[in-house]
Amino acid sequence: QITNCTISGNSAQVQGGGIFIHGGSILTNCTISNNSAGTHGGGMSITGSVVMTDCEVINNSTVSESTDKTNGGGIYNSGSGKFTRCIISGNIVSGEASKGGGIYNYKNFSNFNYCTISGNVAEGATGKGGGIYNRAASPTLINITLTGNKAEYGGAMYGDESKNYGSMATIINSI
């Protein structure tokens, strides 16, 4: 369990600029800011399970010249997650085919409750999902604010399928 912490100013060549979670973790009242990664999860990369409450993931970046591997400026999530009262803001993913300025969800059913996802950017000629990019993922978003996010395709959210998996977000009481 990680409580009342700040993870800031770190970098990773590949993924998880601030933190890489490859197991289970609980984060409460944490700030993950100003971190960077080369391909996945400038702020954090999740391949296990995470429960985050009252956390901020802000001003992180994933920047690469690669055409297919710039995913999740703030969060790359290929695990399972429950996010409550979190702020995901000011993150950027940049590259030719960037995806998920704030969050990149891959093959999961994560839950987002009472979160604000704002001011995130997926840069590039084919940038997708400024706020959230879902690849074969079906997240549930309840009481979410999605505002001021930018991308060439899907400023707030972009849903994408893979060959064997659909992608369908459930959105309730959100703006």
At 17 the three-state DSSP class reads coil
13 exposed, middle or buried (CB, 10 Å; 0-12, 13-18, 19+)? exposed
| pLDDT value at 165 more than 80 | no
H-helix or E-strand spanning residue 37 = strand 36-37
Q: Could you read off the pLDDT of 5-54 as tens digits, one per residue?
A: 999 999 999 999 999 999 899 999 999 999 999 999 999 999 999 999 99
Q: Could you read off the pLDDT of 75-89 as tens digits, one per residue?
A: 999 999 999 999 999
72 close to 93: Cβ distance less than 8 angstroms: yes
Closest C-alpha to 78, from 15, 5, 120: 15
Q: Could you read off the pLDDT of 119-139 as tens digits, one per residue?
A: 999 998 899 999 999 999 999
- Confidence bin at 161 (pLDDT 50/70/90): confident
Instruction: Say how far residue 53 (Cα) sits from the centre of its chain.
Output: 15
